[in-house]
Amino acid sequence: QMSTSKKLLMLAGFVVLFLMYYKSLPSHKCPHPLLQPKQWGKWVEFHSTAKVKKAANSTAMTQKKNKPVMFDLQGCDPLFGIDSCHLTDDRSLYSSVHGVLIFHRGINDDLSNLPTSARPRFQRWIWLNTDSPSNMRRIEGIQGLFNLTLSYRKDADIQLRWPVSFNKKTDKDFVLPKKERLLCWIVDSNVSTESRESSNYYRELFSKSEDYFLTISSCKFYLSFENSIHRDYITEAFNGPLAAGTVPIVLGPTRLNYEDFVSGTSFIHVNDFSAPVKLAEFLLKLDKDYFSNMRYFDWRQFYNTRPHLTEENYEFVHGVCQACHYLSINKVYRVVPDLYKWFFG
């Protein structure tokens, strides 16, 4: 058996090396677009009424190693119980749709792939952005184009987030998944061109949700480190372990910001410790203290969280369906006067 001091040294060394790596990551203000200009990144149209006929084979695609990846546009009802939406990429229906969702990363710098037809008075354009300010490029000329925002930000019109919800049936019988590992970290970065190969490998390795969550659930603690630190920027890197029954160790916005969305006893924040070695000591102590470790799961008595979708064809379906549902219940017309002033502050 390895002595406690050796375990502590190895764990502290791992955390220190990771923080050195994390801080060395370049900040890419102009990241390589995930979706190419002539692909799905242009826009997705949707109807918030059942009276409009669905477009046949309504799907969208991008390219992955010369292989098309089809995005499922029919998932709102089976996945979320939203049956009032019809999603389509058929642009011939543009003049009749209630909303047009435009993905920021897919907009051409010269705006040449945005709709050019006159916007109907009942139609709203929705700005979809999943990136933090550090990883998002500015595109001139779009500041006043949108009616609604769809983002991870708490003050967005539509929040792009897998929420923790109140559980009417308390989960008092929560059973902690079997743990085979002390600390885990899975990297999925798309902020630079150089990382695309590793990102593709990651997606293929965890092509099924059950593989991803099964792996995370086997760890006692998981490094939920965001690729940049900004207000409200808390991604699936946090939701994954939370849903899998693993304690997230977070590096991102402040503890108070995390507590805007989840219980403060559901995670460990690196800022609570003066140095990585102190965090390592704390984790080794928790590893031997079952009852103290279980306190990080007390929140499950009152709340639950839903595992996010990891399949590539469902990558945007949650946000798209949330946007369509929003239009079906909110009829007030508004305009975002200055998109960048709001987002960049």
Per domain, the residue ranges of the chain are 44-162+313-339, 167-305
- The secondary structure of 232-297 as a DSSP string is T---HHHHHHHHHT-EEEEESS-HHHHTTTS-TTS-EEGGGSSSHHHHHHHHHHHHH-HHHHHGGG
Instruction: Return the percent helix, strand and coil in the chain, to nearest 5.
Output: 35, 15, 45
Q: Quickly tell me which residue has 């939920």 as its tokens.
A: 224
Residue of higher predicted confidence among 50 and 287? 287
The pLDDT score that the predictor gives to residue 266 is 95
Task: Domain 167-305: give its CATH superfamily.
Answer: Glycosyl transferase family 10, C-terminal domain (3.40.50.11660)
**pTM of the prediction?**
0.76
- The residue type of 231 is R
The overall average pLDDT reported for the chain is 77
143 vs 84 pLDDT, higher one? 143
* pLDDT value of residue 231: 96
Position with higher pLDDT, 311 vs 144: 144
pLDDT, tens digit, for every residue of 114-165?
A: 988 889 999 999 999 999 999 999 999 999 999 999 999 999 999 988 777 7
What count of other Cβ atoms lies within 10 Å of the Cβ of residue 234? 24
DSSP labels, 151-204: ESSTTSSEE-S--EEE-SS--TT--PPP--EEEE------SSGGGHHHHHHHHH
Q: Is the pLDDT of residue 57 over 80?
A: no
